[in-house]
Each structure stands twice: as structure tokens, then as C-alpha cells.
Amino acid sequence: MHIGRVLGAVSLYSPSPKAVLAAAELAAAARADLEILTVLRDPWELVRPGEVEGFRRIHLGSPASLAASRALERLKTLTRNAVLPAPRVSYQAAFGLPSIEIARYAETVGADVIVLGRGDEAARGAVENVMTATMRRSHVPVLVAPLAHRVYRTVLACMDDSPRAVDVLEVATTWADCFGAGLLALHVEPSDAGPVGPGERRPWLRRLEGASHGGGGAVVECETAVRQGDVTSEILAEAAARDAELIVFGYRRGMNYGEAGASGTVAARLLRRGPCALLAVPV
């Protein structure tokens, strides 16, 4: 995976720009451009009706241009210290539903990853779970920054039996390489999984080994681990035991993991319970 442009999306009502800090550190580590985006419902969030006529007479503008100007001023003030690690920074304000505008802007600028802050979906006036709704629409990985930011030292990649597991591993490898972190590929089997015969390899391990020897999209050096039991519980237990700062997992694009029908999936459970940074890879 190549990271040339990072998009950090933040609410102007966020208590702290943790998403921007995580995005700026990634941009610095990958020597990538950093785009900072905020989304407002409409211009009236920052413009009083009584200002409109005077603004038009003086500036020949519109409520939207005035609101965008004010949003950018607030955005720069809010993120001033957080963006310091990034080599190049651009700011943008948009109007509409956050998840739609975030995904749309990511495609417009060719972002390779979107960074969101946990808790920003509860910002004032939110009408959707921005995190899960953005994941549903995004074509690129979505990083969810935790409330307490930590430097990445251990990256845990969740491996299943699907052929697309190598894509998850490739993204995890990119993060580990950028930050000089250790990489653990974890596979969780059912409790009743039978023993492996002499010379046999599990499908997920064959794919990992194929990638390591040039047979896949990623060339990796990582530790592997196998656990048995409930997938989400074992992932979280392993992350806690290793004090992992980042969990990387795949999810099905187009599914809304904030809806009741998806609540039992591994992705939805990780999003609810994961205490560290989470990197969701559309597969």
C-alpha cells in the first residue's frame, strides 16, 4: 500500500483534534500530503440571518462563502498544534451529511486513507454515526483514532481464511514499516478446530507465506499467532496482552456496521469495544 495523501476529518465541535494528530503523524511518517476537512450541515451554523445582506453588499459573497471562511478559521485554530508533524497541510470546509462529504472529498483528492476521531460522531447536531457511515461509503482504509493517542509500537493484523486477508496484511505492514513497529498476524480458529496433519498448513497461513515469498501483494516479516474461541474476544485479549496500539481488520464495504443487523459481526464488535486505534480495511 502506498500512502501519498492522508485525509483527516474533524468536527469543529470536537473536544480535541485527535484525528488530526493521528493523521499528521501518519503523513509525517509516510512523507505524505495532509488534507484537513470539516463538514457543516449548512451555512447557518456559522452565519446569522441578519448578516446576509450586509455581507452581500460589502463582499459580493454568499452565506456559504462566509460560513466556509469562518469554518476554515476555526479549523486552523483548532488543529494548529496537531498538524505540526505533517510536511504539507491543506484545509477544506464542506456542507452536507458528513459521511457523504468525507467519502466524496477522499475520492476527489485521491486520499489513500481517511482518519476519524472516536467520539466525533457524537458532536453537536450529528444525525448519523459518522464512523460507520463513512466506512460504508469509503473505498480506502479508515483509521479510527482513540480518545488517548499513543505511538504505534505493535500492530495487530486480524487474519481470516479469505483470500482478501492478504490485503489486510499489506495495509498493516505499511503501518508497521512507517512507524518502525512490530507486526503480529493473528488468526482465531473455532474452539472445535481439528489438528493440522503433518506437512499441512492452514489456508490463511499459506497465503501469508505466499505473500512473504513474493506470491502476494505484500512482502512481510511478522510474527504469527493462532488462538481458538470467540473471534472478537480473542482479538481484544491478544491486543491487551501485547499492549497493541493498532488493530487492523477487514470489513465488507457497503454494510452499515452501526445498524442492528450488523451488530454481531466482528467488525462492529471491534468498533464498539476496541480500546486502541482501529484501522478498517474495505475488502
Q: Tell me the per-residue pLDDT of 36-88, one tens digit each, with 9 for 90 and over.
A: 999 988 887 788 766 666 665 555 567 788 889 889 999 999 888 888 888 89
Contacts with 226 (C-beta within 8 Å, 6 or more apart), sequence order: 186, 187, 188, 189, 202
Short-list 172, 168, 169, 176, CA closest to 252 = 168
Please state the rounded mean pLDDT for residues 123-131.
70
Contact 244, 123 (CB under 8 A): no
Round to whole Å and give the CA distance between 208 and 216: 8
pLDDT digits (tens, 9 = 90+) for 173-186: 999 999 999 999 99
Residue 218's pLDDT is 46
pLDDT digits (tens, 9 = 90+) for 187-198: 998 776 666 656
Residue 164 or 140, more confident: 140
Cα 192 to chain centroid distance, Å, stands at 33
Round to whole Å and give the CA distance between 278 and 267: 10
Q: Does the pLDDT of residue 233 top 60, yes or no?
A: yes
Residue 219's pLDDT is 44
Residue 191's pLDDT is 75
Round to whole Å and give the CA distance between 210 and 252: 24
Residue 149's pLDDT is 82
Strands (E), the chain: 5-9, 33-40, 88-95, 113-117, 142-145, 154-159, 182-189, 223-228, 246-251, 277-282
Residue 120 or 85, more confident: 85
State which amino acid sits at residue 88.
Answer: R
pLDDT digits (tens, 9 = 90+) for 1-41: 899 999 999 988 876 778 899 999 999 999 999 999 999 88
What is the pLDDT of the chain when averaged over all its residues?
85
Task: Look up the CATH superfamily of 154-282.
Answer: HUPs (3.40.50.620)
Task: Look up the CATH superfamily of 5-145.
Answer: HUPs (3.40.50.620)
State which amino acid sits at residue 187.
Answer: H
Round to whole Å and give the CA distance between 216 and 184: 18
Q: Name the residue with cell 512481510.
A: 220
> pTM of the full predicted structure?
0.87
Please state the rounded mean pLDDT for residues 153-163.
91
Residue 246, number of CB atoms within 10 A of its CB: 26
Residue 84's pLDDT is 85
Helix extents (H) in 44-129: 52-59, 63-79, 98-109
Q: Where in the chain is the domain with CATH 3.40.50.620?
A: 5-145, 154-282
Residue 252 or 198, more confident: 252
